[in-house]
Structures are given as C-alpha cells and as structure tokens.
A and B are shown apart, each in its own frame.
Chain A
C-alpha cells in the first residue's frame, strides 16, 4: 500500500469517526445520558437527583446554562431541563424535581374543636385515634415547618403550650378545660375566621365531629337547622374563591356523654366518626397532593373516606402499555401529546381490540372504591368500548414495563369490537358528591342504635352546602384515545 492510499484511508476513517463523534457528543453528553437512564429505569429519587446535580457542579463550564451567575446550580433550570428531556421520551415521563430545590415549606394551622361531644374522643382508656390522626398530620409536615394550634368552639383560642407538649399530651381536653364555651360550635364563625386568617402557603385543618350545634336551638325543628347548616356552608365557602377543601373521615373510640340535638344526653361507648377538614388555596392543595414531602397528609393510614371540594378537571398522566397480559389485537402508539393508536387491528379470532393504559390517579384524592368502580366513569365510543380499572401492584412490574408503570396508580383496560375505521374513546370520571357522605349522614341522633356508630347528624346537609359552593369540574379527569386502522 503506497503513501497516497494510506492518506486516503486515514482521511476516510477520520471522516467516519467525525460523524460518529457528532452523534455521540451532542447536547449535554454525560448529563443527558444520566437523565435518560434515570427516567427509563424509573429511578427518580433524591439520591439520583443529587448525582445529576453533581455532574453539573463538577463541570460548571460545560453546563453553564444550568448554573447561576454566582456559580451555584440553578434548580429551576435543572428542573426545566429534566422536564424537557422527559417530554421527548417514549412515553413522555415527568419527574417533579422541584421539591429538591430548597422550596419553602408550607405552614400548618390546626383548629381543634373543643365542644362537649368532642371530649369523649380522647379519653385515657380509648384508642386515641383522634389524637393520633392530628399527631400524624403534624408529623407528615417536613421538620422545620411552622405549626400553630388553636382551640375552637364558640370562638378561636390559641393553644397555650408548645407543639411538642401537644404531641405528648395524653388528655388534650383535660389540659384545655375551661377554654371558650364548649356547649356549642359555631361553624359559620369558625370557617369564616379560618378562611380570613389564611395566608399564602398555609394549610388550615379543622378537627371536628362535624355536628352543627349552634347556640339557642330550643324549639327549632331539625329541618330548619339542616337548611340553615346547608346554606351557611354554601354562603361561607362561596365567598372565598380559589380555596380547596378536603374532608377526611376517620373512626375513633368514643367514651362518654353524647349530646343529641334536642334530646336527652346519654352515655355512649363505641366507635364514632370524626373529621379532618383541610383548607388551603387550590394550588397549595395541588402541591399537597403531588409533593412527596407531604405524602401522608392527604393519604394518612386511618382515613376511612375522603373527598376534595373545588377540584377542577385534572390532567392525568397516562401511558399506553405496549406489553400487557390483557392486550388483544394489534396497535401502534403514535408519539405526541395526544393518545393515538395507529394501525389498529382486532384480534384474529375474536375481532376484539383490547389495550391498557397506566394512569396516575393519586392527584385526584379520590378513594380506591370510587376510582376502581367502572360505574363512576362515562365511556363514549362508536364501537362501545368497555372499561375495567385495577390498582397497580408490584406483582405487575417486569423489567420491560417498569418504565410505563412507575409512578402510576391504576391500569385502565378498554375492550371493544374493532369495526369502525376510526374511533374516539372518551373516558371521564364523574365528579359527584360521593355516596359515603349520604351513607355517613343521619337525621336522628337521639339514640345510640342502628347506624349511630358510623353516622354524623346532618353531615349530608353540611357537605352538600360546601359542594354547592365549591363544585369544581364536572369530572375528575377526561382522557380521549383516538383509534385508527
């Protein structure tokens, strides 16, 4: 081989190597590779985020667009960079890294009802569920969060001890004896004061049995009280736009005197429901639902039922599962913002097309009974697709579908006869006042029989009034899937 040929060979190989380098070294190189890998593996923990940050801080010159003029990592830009990269993956993956960037904590204000019928919830011999629910709530806020505690009945009174003393207090009603007038609870005053006092970034929680017991009800009919209760709830909450309320129902041991409406007080030992009413600006409530630092606030272990008022129709992340046991027929997912299945074919034997989507419904703050009941959904399509919803569990995970299931809570499976050349399947989860409210409400509490242990006097009227004021969207979420032959 002569020198001329060697030169040509070297030139060609250099050209080819240049081409290879162009594709290998573009963009953010090591950082991009690490982010892609983390997203595909579903390894979206703070430790991984920290390792990504260290790639930037180790080489601030290369990643100057992610660094502040002072030379520190710009978490906002880092978050945008990761979100942008994730949005271009298949399927798009969103990793909320904002919580790692030193965002200021929310503050918590607790309003502890101290009426006559609340005292038996925290007797020394009882299970202490009420106190535990409040303690858990405080502990689910990150360390260092500002926490204030108030006692409420005829008014709002600051708790005179520290938060640590409150947590250790074995008989909270004993230590707060004599505060206010415990013979009645003025919800209008309490809700108004809470809503007026609320500042941005604050979460207010009323701990109550939700029994409306205004002053001087002698001789007033129960219907009249219920109507009053309903309209006051509507009036109060309608005044404060942009607020969102979550009502959580718990069960607790009750031992002591119960004061029925217009009846003779009687002793009762057994279970009784109590409630945590969480009030915050809508965007703060969204943060509580999504920010992992606050996990446990809206999904505490003892919650029996819950409902979020003033919930707008949400965008729910959905990923079509390409490899799934129930899939029948063939389809190809078109990548983009909309869910489009192209090249659809029914199963060769049955003619049915069956596909599944993983969805993250955790942000909806609806309980599993509501989410997994297909009757709560409207499904519209030409070919009459039917829907089945199952919660995601760890046994469903395989190495290859992990990317699609990671961070998702439910699998929505749609089945139909694939006949039309084009079809549009629309799914929406109706947003109605849930059945548990009606089932937990009573209009007679004069005797501890029947459903006394699980019902609250006038709950439907109170929450119904709040629902009228804070209806939110007609559905929790809507998803449309386009099917093309």
Chain B
C-alpha cells in the first residue's frame, strides 16, 4: 500500500509538472530563465508541452530501464543509478534542444544562446523527475528495489 502511495504521488507530481508547463500565467519553465522574445515564441509555437513531454519520457523511461531492463544485482549500487541519471540529464536537454532548434529553424527564427541557457533548466527538471520516477517504480524491481538508498 505504501509503495502504491509513492507511485500515485509520483504520477501526480509529474502531471502537475506537465500542467504547469502548459499554462500562460504561471509557467514553470519561465521561472528560472526568462527572455521575453524567446519565451514568447516558445509559447506561441506551443513548444512547452512537447518539451515537458520529452523531459518526462526521458526521465521516466530512464528510471524504467534501470529498474526493469537493467535490473541486475551487478548494477544495484547507488552509483549505477547515478550513472543512468547522468545519461538522462544529458539526453533530455539534447533532445529538447534539437526539437527547439528544428521548430525555430522551420519558422525562420534564431535563438542559439537562449536555447542553450533554457536547456539548463531541462537538466534540472530531468534530474528531479528521474528521482520522482525512481521512487515511484523502484518497489517492484526484483533486483534494484534498494537503489539508490535502501529503505
């Protein structure tokens, strides 16, 4: 039951993150980095939901692969979990940057510097979501349920 509560809280936090990525008034992506022209284009071209979805997919996908695909006693130490997190925090901003750049290029826009600064946020959000996903799904892993911290 306790594990199910973790899962539900994890999903709720992820959905909340997604919702706050789509809103106009308070947008979670505009709190740490804001450049009026860049962020306006992101909003007008409806890119925030896609960026959020990519981040969620990579973070939850990374955790799922670690706990259920890798799922080996050989890789059940905290630094193995951290290594996967490293892959997630690199992969998520890279994919988001490619997506950003493609959409901007298709619309004749150029925001290289802003995109790089913006993706620093993706690093942070991907890491947080990876932790949330890990604590949501680790309990049902046969070999890595005690990673990163035994409970």
Contacts and interface: CB of A to CB of B under 8 A. Distances in A.
Interface of A: 1-2, 5-6, 8-9, 12-13, 16-17, 19-20, 23-24, 32-33, 36-37, 39-41, 88-91, 322-323, 332-333, 335, 399-404
A28 to B, nearest CB: 11
Contacts of B36: 322-323, 332-333
B151 interface: no
Interface stretch (B41-49, B74-82, B86-94): B41-49
A19 B68 CA distance: 20
Interface in B22-79: 22, 24-25, 34-37, 39-41, 43-46, 49-50, 52-54, 56-57, 60-61, 64-65, 68-69, 71
A400 B110 contact: yes
B121 to A, nearest CB: 17
Contact of A322 (B25, B37, B107): B37
Contacts of A23: 18, 22, 49-50, 52-53
Contact of B44 (A9, A36, A332): A36
Q: Which are the 6 A-B pairs with shortest beta-carbon distances?
A: A322-B36, A90-B40, A23-B49, A89-B44, A9-B68, A20-B53
Indicate the member of B46, B53, B65 with the most A CB atoms within 10 Å. B46
A8 B140 contact: yes
A8 B68 contact: yes
A265 B41 CA distance: 67
A332 to B, nearest CB: 7
Contacts of A1: 68-69, 71
Contact of B46 (A19, A20, A36): A36
24 contacts: A2-B142, A5-B69, A8-B140, A12-B61, A13-B64, A16-B60, A16-B61, A16-B64, A19-B18, A19-B53, A19-B57, A23-B49, A23-B50, A23-B52, A24-B53, A37-B45, A41-B108, A89-B44, A322-B36, A322-B37, A332-B36, A400-B37, A400-B109, A400-B111
Nearest to B110: A399
B61 A335 contact: no
B57 A16 contact: yes
A12 B108 contact: no
B30 to A, nearest CB: 9
A325 B47 CA distance: 27
A51 to B, nearest CB: 15
A90 B41 CA distance: 7
B137 interface: yes
Nearest to B21: A23
Nearest to B64: A12
Contacts of A40: 41, 44-45, 107, 109
Most buried by A among B53, B60, B69: B53
Contacts of B109: 40, 399-400
Given A2-B142, A5-B142, 5 more contacts: A8-B64, A19-B57, A23-B53, A88-B24, A400-B111
Given A1-B69, A1-B71, A5-B71, A12 B60 contact: yes
By size class, the interface of chain B is 35 or more
Interface centre among A6, A8, A401 (most CB of B within 10 A): A8
Interface of B: 18, 22, 24-25, 34-37, 39-41, 43-46, 49-50, 52-54, 56-57, 60-61, 64-65, 68-69, 71, 106-111, 137, 140-142
Nearest to A402: B108
Contacts of B35: 322
A27 to B, nearest CB: 9
Contact of B40 (A8, A41, A91, A399): A91
Contacts of B39: 90
Contacts of B140: 8
A403 B36 CA distance: 13
Given A2-B142, A23-B52, A333-B36, A37 B64 contact: no
A40 B52 CA distance: 21
Nearest to A400: B37
A2 to B, nearest CB: 7
A37 B106 contact: yes
Nearest to A37: B107
B106 to A, nearest CB: 7
A401 B37 contact: yes
B44 A90 contact: yes
Contacts of A401: 37
A10 to B, nearest CB: 9
Given A9-B69, A23-B22, A36 B57 contact: no
B68 A12 contact: yes
A333 B53 CA distance: 26
A239 B44 CA distance: 48
Nearest to A333: B36
Contacts of A24: 49-50, 53
B46 A323 contact: no
B40 A9 contact: no
A20 B71 CA distance: 25
Contacts of A17: 57
Nearest to B40: A90
Contacts of B50: 23-24
Given A23-B18, A400-B111, A13 B44 contact: no
Nearest to A92: B44
A1 B54 CA distance: 26
Contact of A41 (B56, B107, B137): B107
